[in-house]
Structure 1
Amino acid sequence: MQLPTVPTHQPRLKVFDRRQALAVHSAALEILEKFGVQMAHAGARDLLLANGARLYDEYWVRIPAHMAEAALRSAPRQILLYNQMGERAMALRDDHFYFGTGSDTTFTLDLESGQRRPCVLADTGRFARLVDALPNLSFAMSMSNPRDVPNMDFIYVQAFAEMVRNTNKPMVFIADRLEDMALIHQIACAVAGGEEALRRKPFLLNYSEAISPLRFPENVVDKLIFCARKEVPICLPSGSNAGGGAPITLAGAMALGIAENLAGLVIHQLTQPGAPFLFGPNVSALDMKSAVVSYGCPEWSLTQAALADMRDELYGLPIWSFAGATDAKTVDAQAGAEAMFSITTAMLSRCNLIHDVGYLEYGSTSSLEMVTLADELIGMARHFTAGIPVNPATLALDALERVKDAGAKGIFLTDDHTFDHFESALFLPDLLDRSRYDTWQAAGGPDLYRRSNDKVRRILAEHNPAPEKEAALLQQINQLLEAAR
């Protein structure tokens, strides 16, 4: 009898059904039509008014539903990101998911002392080089807000250049203002081989933010319009965190955040129809005791799973999300628990671009060890969410027959089937310890933090991005930085 090959069922988390998704979407459209947004940017305000929006109360603009619906139809259903060699690296769409680090931490845990200290520019390079080496991280962000740069007005430009020097993977970058954006774009064009080459094969995506509730500062809109015109992929989440910038109820916070995203999308698509836009607000929760926006709470994982449902039911656009972060101050049991919870739920809900891997202290502190640990946790969750393949090879009846025929000496450990399949069938950890007690004790009894620290040290000592950047390119980048200073 020929055993059939059955398509693998991959576990999936759903939070919203279609009726709930439509209710939240309708509420978001009502927010735009009834309350509107505060639009400080005169050019964007005129653009909105020329296309059907209505002005009231000086800078406030009401946006009718048909403009939001048209922008949703105009935006692409897929965003392709390439590595810096021009090779396709990330296809942001449907159920494809990719993990990477975060940005803008004020502090980091020192690799040598383990102590919390202010970030410096070299930390940006170390994180980028680590990401370049880790198999489960697809893109890099700066992971620091360095305090030692020569010109603080161009801190983001210098951080971007440091990432370019230390990784060839795609990058998500921050810019404070239009001047930052223009300089970063010049560096990116130099890396890609020209503006047209970068437009065809972008290796970068901009992260910017509106201000909840419903405020769009001029510098934010400047960057949005620049990215639309240059077709640089962008995401524009707002801080619609429950109890802070948004209502305490998650449905209300999501409706507000989606309304803000839709307003940004309308401006973006009116500027350049079809330009790539990554959808999704940040909807976490303001902790009622500490007044911090939590990175370890279940609410953020819940809202981004619901956002994935809205993508599938209504929008079709790839979405922005987070995982692998924690409110813990050190790499401890709380850090591991919160990171694994958000990693697994982000993967189960099939979010697309998943950032903030390696954050400690609600995004204030970064940790090389935490990034390395999270990389392994992502691998573990990836193994789980892949499901169980069912086919003649995995049902292994031939192997069972051989072991049975071998009699008392029969054992699956020595059968060829085990050697042929163990690497694909099993999750094989590197950091998570499964050794026998005496083996662990003989190695000095290292805990998970120590093992993670050792792995980071090895990678930073041995790994260099391949291929290396050409000297002429690095010199060109240095000349652009000198001009910025």
Structure 2
Amino acid sequence: MQSDIADSDLRTARRTRRGRDSAPRIQASTEVDGGRYAPLSNGDVDSIHLAALNILANIGMSEAPDIVSETIVAAGGAIAADGRLVFPPALVTAALDGLSRTVTLPARDPIHDLCLSGRRVYVGSGGAAPMVVDLEADTYRPSTLRDLYDAARMVDALENVHFFSRSVVARDMEGLEALDINTAFASLAGTSKHVMVAAHDPAHVRAIARMCHLIAGSEEAFRARPFLSLNINHVVPPLRYSEEACAVLAEAVRQGIPAHVNTFGQMGASSPVTIAGCVAQTVAETLAGVIFAWALDPSAKVVFGVRPMVTDLRTGGMAGGAGEQALLTAAVVQMVQHYGLPNSTIAGATDSKIADAQSGYEKCLSVNLAAQTGANMITQACGMQAGLMGCSFESYVIDNEMLGAILRSMAPIEVSAATLSPETIGEVVRGEGHFLGHSDTLARMQTDFLYPRLADRRDPEEWQAAGAPEIRQPAKTRAREILDTHFPAPLPADIEAAIRAEFDIRLPESIMRPA
């Protein structure tokens, strides 16, 4: 009889729950740690580390620019007989010992500051896609500066997305200088969270730094709280430096701008076809950039950006949604955790073209494994489709909900007398026979559960009566609502005016305010 009563009450509770919008929404905590998942054994980690040392000491890097070779040789490296720059194990060890174990990436609003340390996990955007999925037409089109600004506004509004890394390329910008400067401005104007952009030339780095100084109030203020950092791909795998990117890295260090030193190898193409070999090469290549930055300035703010990707060997294209990709990412993150260095990686690079079931399972698998391994920053975790070729606003909204669930799953489980509560269990089973109306249930409903806005938990009858909607429909509605109404705290008028007077800013002021 008690079971019947409980079932009836449960059905009533479901039906009288006045829609998903009436339930309290608890934001997933940003204070979550990963590190519970480790695909590599301790022996595996040691073997991969020794392989990376071997690669650096006996193979080395080709095409090292003068500033790199001179800096590394002065720190203890050498030029081998074949002209390659090699790194003795003692140099690698010195750098690993000397690099900071904590890098703080501030935001314009301090509530969004990121502390990259230990196994703390943050998730954000990224991708630099050349296309956008049009919210109304459901078709792919070239991305624009306005799309970039809108993407930043989306991220600013989404509670489970912690930072904004450039999501799209503003293809309506002519010339790399205009692209870099306008990308920085649109990103900073679109969100008060930490911003990550890129630069193609040291002069562009200086211009971006100058813009940040104006926003911060002074160069000293920005150096103390650098709310913008640079993604820098210093290497062209396999084991070859990029002269332009190394010059950008050097300038970022000089300007006090945090640098994400990133390596994008393609397993089976520009990296070995085995996960272990790909991880070893990726670690070596990333170390080759991190050591350069450290040798330039031991206090440089450097993030170890291990980002190997999987190749579909049938076509030669990227397979960002593959199970092998999730495993590869987790393994390379575990290696950086072994070193204890602030790090970032990519997860969420689904191969699906729209926010469908394929997109959901591919993103959730890769982001979850990266988070559970303890990646400090997971970029491309939301909004991206088609192997990072397209950005989707409705995907941002859906993925925000997915990220909340992943972050919530990482919270520690409280085991105490209060949570075990055998007295309460005895009281309930001898009384009403269910916990639905118990005071502890009602209290913890407000604190312990993350309630979705989009995911449909109605019973089938209610769902069918509502027209049997699928998740993309409410996601589109929510995305339109954000784009129509959410405008972050604007830059002060005098600062924006000063920036527009000094730089060729192409983003119209008219779109930066509500219509």
State if a TM-score over 0.5 links the two structures.
yes
Match of 2:86 among 59, 62, 69: 62
- Extract unaligned runs of 5+ from structure 2: 1-31, 508-515
The residue aligned with 1:380 is 405
The residue aligned with 1:475 is 497
Note the C-alpha offset of 1:88.
Answer: 6.0
Matches within 5 A, 1:361-400: 361-397=386-422, 399-400=424-425
Question: Under a length normalisation based on structure 2, what TM-score does the superposition of the two structures give?
Answer: 0.87
The residue aligned with 1:450 is 473
The residue aligned with 1:253 is 278
Preserved CA contact (<8 Å) 2:112 2:162: no
Query: Is residue 2:448 matched to residue 1:425?
Result: yes
CA RMSD of aligned residues (A): 2.3
Note the C-alpha offset of 1:97.
Answer: 0.4
* Number of equivalences: 474
Change (3 A) 1:11 1:31: closer
Preserved CA contact (<8 Å) 2:304 2:344: yes
Matches within 5 A, 1:456-471: 456-465=479-488, 467-471=489-493
Match of 1:337 among 337, 361, 366: 361
CA deviations over 1:319-345 (Å, ceiling 9, x no partner): 111223301111111101101101211
CA distance in 1, matches of 2:33, 2:142: 46
CA distance in 2, matches of 1:9, 1:354: 13
CA distance in 2, matches of 1:375, 1:307: 25
The residue aligned with 2:457 is 434
CA deviations over 1:299-336 (Å, ceiling 9, x no partner): 232233223332343x1102111223301111111101
CA distance in 2, matches of 1:124, 1:73: 39
The residue aligned with 2:300 is 275
The residue aligned with 2:102 is 78
Preserved CA contact (<8 Å) 2:33 2:120: no
Q: Secondary structure at the match of 1:379?
A: helix
Q: Which moved more, 1:279-288 or 1:353-362?
A: 279-288
The residue aligned with 1:5 is none
CA distance in 1, matches of 2:92, 2:503: 39
- Extract unaligned runs of 5+ from structure 1: 1-7
Change (3 A) 1:123 1:47: same
Note the C-alpha offset of 1:212.
Answer: 0.3
Match of 1:235 among 260, 264, 269: 260
Note the C-alpha offset of 1:10.
Answer: 7.8
Question: Under a length normalisation based on structure 1, what TM-score does the superposition of the two structures give?
Answer: 0.92
The residue aligned with 2:69 is 45
> How many percent identity over aligned positions?
28
CA distance in 1, matches of 2:412, 2:352: 31
Residue identity opposite 2:218 in structure 1: G
Match of 1:300 among 325, 339, 349: 325
The residue aligned with 1:4 is none
Note the C-alpha offset of 1:58.
Answer: 7.1
Q: Secondary structure at the match of 2:306?
A: coil
Q: Secondary structure at the match of 2:310?
A: coil
CA deviations over 1:129-172 (Å, ceiling 9, x no partner): 11011111100022111221254543122111101111000011
Query: Is residue 2:237 matched to residue 1:215?
Result: no
CA distance in 2, matches of 1:196, 1:232: 12
Note the C-alpha offset of 1:214.
Answer: 1.1
The residue aligned with 2:316 is 291
The residue aligned with 1:111 is 135
Preserved CA contact (<8 Å) 1:15 1:306: yes
The residue aligned with 1:309 is 334
Residue identity opposite 1:317 in structure 2: L
CA distance in 2, matches of 1:11, 1:271: 31
Q: Secondary structure at the match of 2:457?
A: coil
Note the C-alpha offset of 1:241.
Answer: 1.9
Match of 1:140 among 150, 164, 173: 164
Query: Is residue 2:153 matched to residue 1:129?
Result: yes
